[in-house]
Structure 1
Amino acid sequence: MKWSALHDAAQAIASIAGAPCPPLTQAIRAFPAQVRDAGEDRRLQAEQEIADLSAIMEAGLSALLAALARGSHPQAAARALWSEFVRTRDGLLHLALSPQGTARRMA
């Protein structure tokens, strides 16, 4: 459920950024099941990464919406948040598929 909500937020951020938001691939849609089946250590790591990313996305989207409400144009900030989301999401996908189970950490 959090995975889906993250992608809904990412779609809103991409829209603010003026960036294309491609449709979800099969790998992205299958991530929750893959990480669940990847073992407890990877599942726990993924849950923590998702919680961290959720916190960043929630705060970032709130700030972007507040800026828009004040009449600002936060496209640059939205592009940065979008890029961070994509990098972290791709690291999580790697976690589910990698035999070593190592995700790329957020900067």
Structure 2
Amino acid sequence: MAVKWAAVHEAAKAIGELAGIAPEYRSPEIRNFPAIMRDTGGWRHRLAEQGVDDLAAILEPGLAALLALHGSGTPAGAAALALWQEFQTARAGLLALIPSLGIER
């Protein structure tokens, strides 16, 4: 899952560039998501793997279409922004799988 997670973020970086969005800071939670899920195991890990696969399946053709638009000289910013927002929403759902540490404040 770690390789696919990294590839998803590279695709998202390219989508963000096409949308005119500054590169994002990747929090430790984002960077370490595959390892956290591996260590968590069980249903959360299985769901995370499926979610990352699904996210990659969405981003791959979306990025290809955006690059084709961009290559033809057609503005791709609005479409890229829409795909970027979909990525953000889907990733937030995946990050919600991280279990709480149960630390009370």
State TM-score, norm by structure 1. Answer: 0.87
Q: Where do 5+ consecutive residues of structure 1 fail to align?
A: 100-107
Within the candidate set 40, 54, 76, 2:42 is matched to 40
Equivalent residue number for residue 19 of structure 2: 17
Aligned residue pair count: 99
Q: Deviations 1:11-30 (Å, cap 9, x if unpaired)?
A: 00000000122121111011
The whole-number CA distance in structure 1 between the counterparts of 2:87 and 2:16 is 10
Within the candidate set 63, 68, 71, 2:70 is matched to 68
Equivalent residue number for residue 98 of structure 2: 96
Within the candidate set 25, 50, 53, 2:52 is matched to 50
Indicate if the aligned counterparts of 1:31 and 1:93 stay in contact, CA closer than 8 A. Answer: yes
Secondary structure, counterpart of 2:32 in structure 1 = helix
The whole-number CA distance in structure 2 between the counterparts of 1:55 and 1:71 is 25
Q: CA RMSD, aligned part only?
A: 1.3
The code of the aligned residue for 2:84 comes to: W
Equivalent residue number for residue 7 of structure 2: 5
Query: Which structure carries more relative contact order (alpha carbon 8 Å, separation 6+)?
Result: 2
Equivalent residue number for residue 31 of structure 2: 29
State TM-score, norm by structure 2. Answer: 0.88
Whichever of the two has the greater Rg, that structure is 2
Secondary structure, counterpart of 2:25 in structure 1 = coil
The whole-number CA distance in structure 2 between the counterparts of 1:48 and 1:69 is 32
1:39 to partner: Cα distance:
2.1
Equivalent residue number for residue 80 of structure 2: 78
